[in-house]
Chains A and B, each alone.
Chain A
């Protein structure tokens, strides 16, 4: 089935999950795994970096999970990194190879890495916020010559809580990618940076007119980082963050993910920092 016909099928049955089999399961941390999923029927349309799927654990429920795959590949593999934080994500976390789960999507806005070409990039991830940004890094590395300086700052609670540790090490070894891993809590055997992600960010020198920032992590982390970037001369329209709200339908019908005038499942999750005033409203 072509991408167009797959998209049409999704449009006609937007609330029906497609069955996907867990082909591979990678334990990332004590509470996070990465699932590699292959379709059992018509594959869902290709994703763009930053989009999410509604992932269904049979008999338990759905959760919105960002897509962590490589956007430069053309296979039908869907990759999700899932952290067990509730009943649905715990069930998904515990699935084993061979199990079947349901997917709907992909939904939402994306990191526009094509428009970011010819710019310097600053990618800041905190905790599981690296999951959706993995697609950005892989997409950029697949066309590395199209970008200027690329900096990746990743924060984690402890050294054991970095996602994609092997991949991070291989990225850090590259000469065309500046990688800084920093931890919040001191840990024996760790001789890398100890500090919040804003500390390495504070030390960087940016060309405000030609730098694009992609941020993902807990919302206060994104607010602190975005404000620092604004203070350093980046325009709010050049700072992109991924919002997390209570996505239920994924198709802008139910309103559970409303953030002021935005429905985050449709108008997000990736938005630029002009959203800042909304993030300061506690009731939202």
Chain B
């Protein structure tokens, strides 16, 4: 991935115009998380969004008696965090780096300002996030099917 355009080649951003991508790229910085570092916890104020470049992030939730239960893992090319866009701006799950992880961090406060100032850009931004949400929703639904379940013979 080129450092001057961290969004190049990422399918989620492919429908954006070069100008729109440049605006979004202008809000980014590269960050790194060592294995085990928590990015955020359930209930905290949601003010970040990351595009994972390398490594793996686990989304989890604390369950009494079971500890932090991982509900999904994210890897290179995946977007982490969209609760920053929608009230009440709180994380519903926690996130932890499972492996040393490099990500592009978006300035979500700046993105909200840009979206409110330019509805056309805001629409493109929301469409980008919706694409990622839809893909995540579909795979979650597929998991809900519990397709690999065996019979009760044994």
Q: CA–CA, A155 to B142, complex, Å?
A: 12
Dominant secondary structure of chain B at its interface with chain A: loop
List of B residues within 8 angstroms of A184 by Cβ: 143, 146-148
B19 at the interface (CB under 8 A from A): no
* Contact indicator B142/A224 (Cβ below 8 Å): yes
Q: CA–CA, A184 to B73, complex, Å?
A: 11
* Contact indicator A195/B143 (Cβ below 8 Å): yes
Given contacts A127-B147, A186-B69, contact A198 B142 (CB under 8 A): yes
List of A residues within 8 angstroms of B154 by Cβ: 30-31, 84, 90, 93
Which of B11, B140, B142, B153 lies in contact with A221, CB distance below 8 A? Answer: B142
Q: CA–CA, A25 to B128, complex, Å?
A: 51
* Contact indicator A199/B139 (Cβ below 8 Å): yes
Q: Per-residue 0/1 for A130-174: is the Cβ within 8 Å of any B Cβ (1 yes, 0 no)?
A: 000000000000000000000000011100010000000000000
* Contact indicator B135/A202 (Cβ below 8 Å): yes
- Of the four ranges (under 10, 10 to 19, 20 to 34, 35 or more), the interface on chain B belongs to 20 to 34
* Contact indicator B98/A191 (Cβ below 8 Å): yes
Q: Per-residue 0/1 for B120-151: is the Cβ within 8 Å of any A Cβ (1 yes, 0 no)?
A: 00000000000000010011101101111111
A-B contact count (CB 8 A): 89
A108 at the interface (CB under 8 A from B): no
Given contacts A196-B142, A203-B76, contact A157 B149 (CB under 8 A): yes
Q: CA–CA, A22 to B123, complex, Å?
A: 64
Given contacts A30-B154, A84-B154, A86-B153, contact A195 B148 (CB under 8 A): no
Interface size for A (C-beta < 8 A) is 40
* Contact indicator A157/B146 (Cβ below 8 Å): yes
Given contacts A30-B154, A157-B149, contact A186 B70 (CB under 8 A): yes
A188 at the interface (CB under 8 A from B): yes
* Contact indicator B70/A194 (Cβ below 8 Å): yes
Q: CA–CA, A59 to B69, complex, Å?
A: 47
